[in-house]
């Protein structure tokens, strides 16, 4: 198929960017979206132009590196997939595809489609972990019984890959689905209880500090999340914060 691409080009974080049109030809419907971007970049390099910078790593939907806002949706029009898992069969010959970086004040553009998502790392550092000594005295995993329901819910929350699609798609650039998932994965397990109070308070405080917006429950994040993280995690985070406030 032949396509017209409207891509956000920005030299660096200090330079103003703009949308630039490109044409790509003979794109196979079996290609992934990133492979199509590779074809474009090869074309640009061959003609002596600067290739389009974009984040990617595993290309199998696990690492959370690829981003891109494609035709007005985070990770494009398909559901439950990252950009690297998006196939060109989702588009038609002759289509015009708009490709932009994830946009949020807390995700500044570094170059073209690459954004700085280190705000997520700082939120994780504020409490998204448990403090345990793993140097040889690891407890048997089955020593602490956990109900199937709680284990499943915690695992579902833990599937968040921190890609930032929730922030990108939220009309308020809110990070509450990400933080909700990170709080939930520990809140449901006994190992997470010891630091539960500080965890939720510190992670929410860091989230606010980073300049993310406020959740208004549109539910867009849940729909666009490549891992299907549920809004229930935000409700749980809200309960956890209220509990932590009363405890302290």
Partner 1 sequence: MSKFFTSSIGRKYAMALSALFLMFFLLQHFAINILSVFSPNAFNEASHFMGTFWAIQYVMQPILIFGVMYHFIMGFILEIKNRNARVVKYAKNNGSANSSWMSRNMIYSGLAILGFLVLHFIDFWLPEINTKYIQGDMSGLLADGEGYRYYEELTHKFVNPLRVGAYILAFVFLSLHLMHGFSSAFQSSGVSSMRKEKLQAFGKAYAIIIPLGFILIALFHHFNH
Determine if 104 is a binding residue for partner 1 (CB under 8 A).
yes
SS3 213: strand
Determine if 156 is a binding residue for partner 1 (CB under 8 A).
no
Would you tell me how many other CB atoms lie within 10 Å of the CB of residue 77?
13
What CA–CA distance (Å, rounded) separates 114 from 100? 10
Determine if 72 is a binding residue for partner 1 (CB under 8 A).
yes
Determine if 120 is a binding residue for partner 1 (CB under 8 A).
no
Determine if 106 is a binding residue for partner 1 (CB under 8 A).
yes
SS3 186: helix
Q: Would you say 65 and 75 are in contact if contact means Cβ atoms under 8 Å apart?
A: no
The site that binds partner 1 (CB under 8 A) totals a number of residues, namely 49
Choose the binding region for partner 1 from 22-30, 47-55, 187-195, 225-233 (rule: CB under 8 A): 225-233
Helix (H) or strand (E) holding 36: helix 33-46
Residues sharing a CB contact under 8 Å with residue 78, sequence separation 6 or more, in sequence order:
85, 86, 87, 90
Q: Tokens 């397990």 label which residue?
A: 189
Q: How far is the CB of 223 from partner 1 (least distance, A)?
A: 4
Q: How far is the CB of 136 from partner 1 (least distance, A)?
A: 39
Choose the binding region for partner 1 from 38-46, 47-55, 191-199, 216-224 (rule: CB under 8 A): 216-224
Angle ∠(159,161,167) on CA atoms, nearest 5? 115
What is the contact surface with partner 1 in residues (CB under 8 A)? 6, 8, 19, 69, 71-73, 77, 98, 100, 103-106, 109, 169, 171-174, 176, 204-205, 207-208, 211-220, 223-224, 230-232, 234-239, 241-242, 245
């Amino acid at each position: 198929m032949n396509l017209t691409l409207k891509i956000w080009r920005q030299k660096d974080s200090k330079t103003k960017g703009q949308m630039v049109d490109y044409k790509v030809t003979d794109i196979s419907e079996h290609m992934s979206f990133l492979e199509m971007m590779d074809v474009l970049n090869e074309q640009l390099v061959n003609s002596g132009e600067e290739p389009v910078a974009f984040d990617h790593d595993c290309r199998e939907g696990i690492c959370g590196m690829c981003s891109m806002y494609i035709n007005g949706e985070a990770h494009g029009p398909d559901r439950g997939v990252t950009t690297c898992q998006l196939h060109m069969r989702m588009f038609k010959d002759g289509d015009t595809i708009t490709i932009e970086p994830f946009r949020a004040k807390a995700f500044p553009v570094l170059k073209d489609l690459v954004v700085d998502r280190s705000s997520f790392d700082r939120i994780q550092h504020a409490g998204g972990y448990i403090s345990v000594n793993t140097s040889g005295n690891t407890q048997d995993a089955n020593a602490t019984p956990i109900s199937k329901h709680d284990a499943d819910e915690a695992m579902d929350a833990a599937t968040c890959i921190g890609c930032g699609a929730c922030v990108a798609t939220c009309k308020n650039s809110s990070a509450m689905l990400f933080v909700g998932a990170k709080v939930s994965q520990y809140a449901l397990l006994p190992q997470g209880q010891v630091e539960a109070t500080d965890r939720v308070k510190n992670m929410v405080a860091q989230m606010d500090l980073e300049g993310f917006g406020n959740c208004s429950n549109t539910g867009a994040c849940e729909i666009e999340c490549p891992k299907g993280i549920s809004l229930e995690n935000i409700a749980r985070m809200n309960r956890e914060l209220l509990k932590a406030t009363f405890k302290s």
